[in-house]
């Protein structure tokens, strides 16, 4: 897994200084100690492999089971304590088959730089799941630490085959395979009414996303948007 090795059981924790030591560096690669040999029946081997395959960015206290969690706040669930805006991250390139970033990209200072790092640590054709506040969401504007919301075309800037991707903001390349509008309604009568309407309306809004995002977000507001991406290398 690109020189990354984690031992010591499921409660092992890495700080940025530790993680830097395990990312491969060409000038020290030959001198780096190799992971100890373990039997295929060792119960630690499957969990370690799962952890190395998945990265949970900004995981907080809700880390995906079996993943490596990176976050700037030290918590029991966080394996690597590191500020995402400080790049490069202490992780080797081409290390992960799956990357998850839920409710985090709206908080970072430099969106493009963080997406570049996501791409760098992905293996070719790795899958990426992102969730962000939708552009018309009241939550996007309520939280003072939110720096941006997203539309269904946000990641088009990282796909050179799209009109927006031709601006060349980044060398990182992702293909959007799916996006999903997410609802969030209050428990009162109005919220329940919108929830019933949403079951009929939201599928139509996704099929006509350009029209909806230009003209309809104030009429039928949504909460979040979720992206499924594939890293292209």
- Residues 171-198: pLDDT tens digits? 999 999 999 999 999 999 999 999 999 9
Question: Which positions ≥6 away from 215 have C-beta within 8 Å?
Answer: none
pLDDT reported for residue 15: 47
Strand partners, 132: 225
| 90 SS3 class | coil
Give Rg (Cα) of the chain.
20
pLDDT reported for residue 139: 85
CATH superfamily of 14-231: Vaccinia Virus protein VP39 (3.40.50.150)
Q: Is the whole model's pTM more than 0.75, yes or no?
A: yes
The secondary structure element, H or E, covering residue 132 is strand 122-133
Are 90 and 20 in contact, with CB atoms under 8 Å apart?
Answer: yes
Ordered by start, the domain boundaries in the chain are 14-231
User: Which stretches in the chain have pLDDT values below 50?
Assistant: 1-51
């Amino acid at each position: 897994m690109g020189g990354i090795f984690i031992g010591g059981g499921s409660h092992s924790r890495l700080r940025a200084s530790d993680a830097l030591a395990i990312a491969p560096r060409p000038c020290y690669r030959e001198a780096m100690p190799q992971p100890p040999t373990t039997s295929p029946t060792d119960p630690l081997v499957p969990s370690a492999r799962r952890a190395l395959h998945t990265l949970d960015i900004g995981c907080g206290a809700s880390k995906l089971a079996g993943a490596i969690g990176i976050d700037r706040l030290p918590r029991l669930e966080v394996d690597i304590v590191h500020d995402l805006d400080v790049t490069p991250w202490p992780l080797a390139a081409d290390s992960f088959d799956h990357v998850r970033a839920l409710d985090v990209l709206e908080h970072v200072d430099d969106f493009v730089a963080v997406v570049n790092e996501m791409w760098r640590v992905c293996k070719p054709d790795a899958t990426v799941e992102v969730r962000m506040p939708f552009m018309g969401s009241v939550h996007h504007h309520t939280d003072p630490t939110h720096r941006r919301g997203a539309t269904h075309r946000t990641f088009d800037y990282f796909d050179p085959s799209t009109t927006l991707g031709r601006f060349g903001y980044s060398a990182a390349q992702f293909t959007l395979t799916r996006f999903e509008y997410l609802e969030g309604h209050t428990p009162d009568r109005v919220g329940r009414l919108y929830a019933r309407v949403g079951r009929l309306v939201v599928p139509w809004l996704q099929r006509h996303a350009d029209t909806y995002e230009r003209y309809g977000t104030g009429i039928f507001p949504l909460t979040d948007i979720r992206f499924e991406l594939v890293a292209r290398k």
